């Protein structure tokens, strides 16, 4: 590990792992929450190789590292055994909006398992496909073994979700798995055979035969194999109960008494209350979803297919994936995951259209691997590298995907299991009746997406000489990308220009993070001070990094310690990897509310790799407007 020794030294001098409550990172620094800041050896840390400086602000002990802070953070997490949190925004979610919290919880539970879930689905899907075409029968040993491999995870799904959900809820993962195992315990399924003792809620949607009781309390036995909602709700309750137990049980017996009481209370509670309620909830959600989609399958497919890539870009897809999984569990099939399954094939067609149409060699070479990866369902290289920067091809992708989704809605396409992505998702569309109309509708939609995407892009994609400009590729511009010539950097905002020495933050004021200027803004908008690529963009919107076309690495940090606002009063319009042009809007921020929250809005604008340049000429003007000359980078003489 490259930074292992540095990580060890940092942990040692902040007082050791036992003195660390939490550690996260922002754009340039590690942010520790220490139990006792007096135990940290600040002077030693400041003089340590690899550390720029140390600041203490806002209840955080901040070790300033520089641009490579993500790598150092990774080493600190691994060496110290801390729980990884990618950014400061994950540190405290108490002020997040309810919807944002929900999306964060869902993604945290399902993201770790999606890979193996898709792999299992692919095996199960191909097994159904080979059976459908007569390669072997359901009675053959080959079918039985492959079915066990593919269906095993789905049958015992609550065990896997018990682990990931308990991890997300900061509980004991093994306890979560134990609850999931109890829900799928094979012996319980046989208890529903024969006549019930009596029936609860007769004549209603919730009619439930009672076969057994627990301490005299009736148990509504449900089928929890492949279920989603019951285990998530159960582990949430278990994590909270476990947290309370840790406070009241003596340390000497916590190791076994905390899981003992958690399982003893929560597992029966799940069978008695949580499980049935969650199952009914899942049934209602599943039935409601199907009812909505059946109102107009074509319109539903058009909208869902057309908006899917937008959902993915903003992380909103995490709100739909669990609904799709729940539908498969409750109804045996799902339209949501079907309608979006051809989106990556639309991207393939669009990228092929770009490749054929463009005369730019580098763009052609980028298109080949992007098209191949999209065929197999991985379309991010194509989106962020080609279609989104070129704009029109991205819009064409959305239109084409909408057409494909509408076709599948018309043909009644469903998925019957979670399968792979792209063409690997084909077997998941095989239903109990084999290769039916819905299956062929999915095949037609995939083929149409490739063809229509290609034709629309070729004839209407706007591919021409501007593609070089949009991607910043090729020609003389690309030759300077390593830092080869002089260029001006303009002010990203209106306000008063200040020397860095007047910034009340040692990391900036001493120039240790790079040379530059600061702006005390008069308006809450940040514009791109130069053309280039977004190299750093935090969800909080408080800072952004740009690598200019000439190789200067710029950092614009709106305010001081504003990362602690957790995104409040900031709205970012870009993300990492985006291509931006000089003058393009990057961030909106609310000056008044930030100041009222106790934070300075003075914004350092620095060249973090200023050591690679001969000179940095700074403006002498005090009052400046957005777009006015701020500084000039003078490259070394290569002669």
pLDDT of residue 549: 83
Which of 423, 449, 471 terminates a domain? The answer is 471
CATH number at residue 552: 2.70.70.10
428 and 494 part of one domain: no
Residue 466 has pLDDT above 60, yes or no: no
3-class SS letters over 195-213: CCCEEECCCCCCCEEECEE
289 and 307 part of one domain: no
513-553 pLDDT per residue, tens: 788 999 999 889 999 999 889 988 877 888 899 988 888 88
515 and 599 part of one domain: yes
Q: Name the residue with higher pLDDT: 28 or 466.
A: 28
pLDDT of residue 480: 35
Residue 397 has pLDDT above 70, yes or no: yes
Distances (CA, A) of 164 to 100, 109, 261, 278: 19, 5, 21, 18
Portion of the chain with pLDDT greater than 90, in percent: 25
Residue 612 has pLDDT above 80, yes or no: no
Q: Which domain holds residue 565?
A: 480-634
Backbone φ and ψ of 523, nearest 5°: -145, 145
Active site residues: 26
Residue 497 has pLDDT above 60, yes or no: yes
386 and 459 part of one domain: yes
The radius of gyration of the chain from alpha carbons, rounded to an integer in Å, stands at 28
The reply to whether 137 falls in a domain is no
463 and 498 part of one domain: no
First to last CA, the chain: 38
The reply to whether 62 falls in a domain is yes
324 and 424 part of one domain: yes
Write the burial class of residue 566 (CB in 10 Å: 0-12 exposed, 13-18 middle, 19+ buried).
buried
Round to whole Å and give the CA distance between 235 and 180. 9
Dihedral (CA of 55, 56, 61, 62) sign: negative
Distances (CA, A) of 505 to 59, 561, 592, 602: 15, 9, 21, 10
3-class SS letters over 338-371: HHCCCHHHHHHHHHHHHHHHCCCHHHHHHHHHHH
Long-range contacts of 506-510 (CB under 8 A, 24+ apart): 506/53, 506/55, 507/28, 507/29, 507/52, 507/53, 507/55, 507/62, 507/64, 508/557, 508/604, 508/606, 510/53
The reply to whether 104 falls in a domain is no
The reply to whether 258 falls in a domain is yes
277 and 316 part of one domain: no
393 and 273 part of one domain: no
Residue 104 pLDDT level (bands cut at 50, 70, 90) = low
Q: Name the residue with higher pLDDT: 65 or 83.
A: 65
309 and 411 part of one domain: yes
Out of 52-56, 325-329, 376-380, 479-483, pick the least confident. Answer: 479-483
Which of 86, 114, 140 terminates a domain? The answer is 86
Chain centroid to Cα 537, Å, comes to: 14
The reply to whether 150 falls in a domain is no
pTM score over 0.75:
no
pLDDT of residue 598: 82
520 and 447 part of one domain: no
Number of domains in the chain: 4
Residue 596 has pLDDT above 50, yes or no: yes
Q: Name the residue with higher pLDDT: 470 or 174.
A: 174
The reply to whether 130 falls in a domain is no
Residue 377 pLDDT level (bands cut at 50, 70, 90) = confident
Question: Is the Cβ–Cβ distance between 61 and 54 less than 8 Å?
Answer: yes
Residue 437, number of CB atoms within 10 A of its CB: 13
How many helices (H) and strands (E) are present in the chain, helices listed first? 25, 22
Distances (CA, A) of 593 to 562, 571, 601: 11, 13, 10
Which of 44, 70, 86 terminates a domain? The answer is 86
Average pLDDT of every residue of the chain: 82
Out of 58-67, 152-161, 326-335, 593-602, pick the least confident. Answer: 58-67
Residue 241 pLDDT level (bands cut at 50, 70, 90) = very high
The reply to whether 431 falls in a domain is yes
Residue 464 pLDDT level (bands cut at 50, 70, 90) = low
Question: Is the Cβ–Cβ distance between 6 and 14 less than 8 Å?
Answer: no
pLDDT of residue 117: 73
pLDDT of residue 446: 92
217 and 234 part of one domain: yes
């Amino acid at each position: 590990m490259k930074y292992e020794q540095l990580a060890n030294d940092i942990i040692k001098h902040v007082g050791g792992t036992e003195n660390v409550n939490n550690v996260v990172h922002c754009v340039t620094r590690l942010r520790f929450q220490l139990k006792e800041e007096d135990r940290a050896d600040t002077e030693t840390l400041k003089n340590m190789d690899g550390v720029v400086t140390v600041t203490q602000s806002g209840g955080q002990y901040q070790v300033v590292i520089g641009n490579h802070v993500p790598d150092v953070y990774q080493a600190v997490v691994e060496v110290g055994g801390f729980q990884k949190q990618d950014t400061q925004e994950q540190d405290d979610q108490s002020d997040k909006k309810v919807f944002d919290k929900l999306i964060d919880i869902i993604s945290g539970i399902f993201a770790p398992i999606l890979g193996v879930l898709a792999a299992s689905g692919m095996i199960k899907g191909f097994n159904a496909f080979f059976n459908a075409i007569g390669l072997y029968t359901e009675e053959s040993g080959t079918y039985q073994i492959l079915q066990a491999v593919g269906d095993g995870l789905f049958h015992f799904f609550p065990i896997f979700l018990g682990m990931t959900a308990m991890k997300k809820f900061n509980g004991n993962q093994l306890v979560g798995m134990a609850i999931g195992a109890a829900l799928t315990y094979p012996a319980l399924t046989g208890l529903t055979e024969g006549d019930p003792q009596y029936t609860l809620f007769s004549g209603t949607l919730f009619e439930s035969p009672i076969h057994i009781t627990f301490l005299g309390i009736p148990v509504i036995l449900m089928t929890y194999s492949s279920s989603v909602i019951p285990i998530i709700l159960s582990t949430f309750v278990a994590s909270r109960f476990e947290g309370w137990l840790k406070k009241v049980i003596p340390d000497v017996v916590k190791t076994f008494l905390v899981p003992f009481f958690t399982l003893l209370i929560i597992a029966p509670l799940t069978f008695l209350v949580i499980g049935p309620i969650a199952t009914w909830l899942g049934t209602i959600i599943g039935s409601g979803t199907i009812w909505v989609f059946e109102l107009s399958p074509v319109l539903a497919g058009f909208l869902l297919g057309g908006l899917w890539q937008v959902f993915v870009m903003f992380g909103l897809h995490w709100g739909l994936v669990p609904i799709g999984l729940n539908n498969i569990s409750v109804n045996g099939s799902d339209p949501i995951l079907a309608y979006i399954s051809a989106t990556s094939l639309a991207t393939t067609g669009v990228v092929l259209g770009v490749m054929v149409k463009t005369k730019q060699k580098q763009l052609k070479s980028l298109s080949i691997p992007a098209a191949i990866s999209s065929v197999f369902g991985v379309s991010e290289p194509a989106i962020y590298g080609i279609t989104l920067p070129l704009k029109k091809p991205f819009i064409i992708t959305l239109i084409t995907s909408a057409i494909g989704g509408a076709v599948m809605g018309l043909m009644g396409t469903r998925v019957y299991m979670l399968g792979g992505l792209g063409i690997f998702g084909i077997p998941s569309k095989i239903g109990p009746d084999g290769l039916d109309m819905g299956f062929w509708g999915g095949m037609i939609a995939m083929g149409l997406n490739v063809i229509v995407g290609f034709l629309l892009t070729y004839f209407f994609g706007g591919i021409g000489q501007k593609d070089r400009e949009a991607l910043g590729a090729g020609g003389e511009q690309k030759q300077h990308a390593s830092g080869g010539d002089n260029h001006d950097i303009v002010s990203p905002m209106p306000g008063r220009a200040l020397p860095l020495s007047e910034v009340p933050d040692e990391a900036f004021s001493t120039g240790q993070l790079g040379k530059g200027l600061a702006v005390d803004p008069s308006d809450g908008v940040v514009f791109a001070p130069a053309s280039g690529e977004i190299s750093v963009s935090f969800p909080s919107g408080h800072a952004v990094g740009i690598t200019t076309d000439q190789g200067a690495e710029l950092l614009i940090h709106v305010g001081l310690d504003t990362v602690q606002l957790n995104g409040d009063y900031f709205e970012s319009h870009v993300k990492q990897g985006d291509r931006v042009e000089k003058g393009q809007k990057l961030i909106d921020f609310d000056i008044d509310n930030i100041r009222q929250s106790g934070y300075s809005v003075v914004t350092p604008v620095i060249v973090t790799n200023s050591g690679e340049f001969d000179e940095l000429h700074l403006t002498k003007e005090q009052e400046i407007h957005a777009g006015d000359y701020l500084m000039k980078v003078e490259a070394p003489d290569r002669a």
